[in-house]
Amino acid sequence: MRPFAGGEGAEMEFTVEPGMEAAFGGQVIHRVLSTWALVHHLEWVSRRLLVEHFDPGEEGAGAGVSIRHLAPAPIGSVVRVKAVARPSRPGHLTTDVEATAGGRLVAQGQVFQAIWPADELHRRMAEPPETSQP
């Protein structure tokens, strides 16, 4: 992986659409951006920053998310998400992320990603999960 310069970032916008609402069991609870859809976009903007730094044969995978969802974004809202790289250990990328809508802070936190040789990552993902023994 090519190293990151301090403060490198990526941004993107999306519009909150039906299907992104907070819902459980097929029932919409609130007609606002759900936390899961928000996290999806925060991971996506972080990945956009990451892929520019892959060496040939590398791939990334999510390793964690720590987000505070601070305010609602109703259907139709335009949400801007951004990620800024912070110092990380080799083979990892941590981004500080935030989301805003209409000038209001919607969320902030961190996204953690790990960088792997692509063939090793795909092999590990194809392995069956470990079973616990009684």
**Domain CATH number, residue 14:** 3.10.129.10
Q: What is the mean pLDDT of the chain?
A: 92
Instruction: Examine residue 3 and state whether it is found in any structural domain, yes or no.
Output: no
Instruction: Examine residue 130 and state whether it is found in any structural domain, yes or no.
Output: no
pLDDT tens readout for residues 18-27: 999 999 998 9
Note the pLDDT of residue 132.
65
- Mean pLDDT along residues 77-100: 93
Note the pLDDT of residue 53.
86
Higher-pLDDT residue of 3, 107: 107
Note the pLDDT of residue 47.
95
Note the pLDDT of residue 68.
98
pLDDT tier at 134, thresholds 50, 70, 90: low
- Mean pLDDT along residues 34-58: 94
Instruction: Examine residue 129 and state whether it is found in any structural domain, yes or no.
Output: no
- Mean pLDDT along residues 50-75: 94
Of the candidates 128, 127, 113, the one whose C-alpha atom is nearest the C-alpha of residue 58 is 113
Instruction: Examine residue 133 and state whether it is found in any structural domain, yes or no.
Output: no
Instruction: Examine residue 107 and state whether it is found in any structural domain, yes or no.
Output: yes
Report which residue type is found at 41. Answer: H
Residue linked to tokens 């606002």: 32
Instruction: Examine residue 2 and state whether it is found in any structural domain, yes or no.
Output: no
Other beta carbons within 10 angstroms of residue 34's beta carbon come to 20
Residues spanned by the domain of 84: 9-120
What's the number of domains the chain is made of? 1
Report residue 116 as tokens: 């792997």
Task: State yes or no: pLDDT of 6 exceeds 80.
Answer: no
Instruction: Examine residue 132 and state whether it is found in any structural domain, yes or no.
Output: no
Instruction: Examine residue 131 and state whether it is found in any structural domain, yes or no.
Output: no
Note the pLDDT of residue 73.
97
3-class DSSP state of 51: helix
* Alpha-carbon gap, residue 19 to 77, rounded angstroms: 14
Phi-psi category of residue 7: left, alpha or beta, with phi > 0 → left and psi -120 to 50 → alpha: left
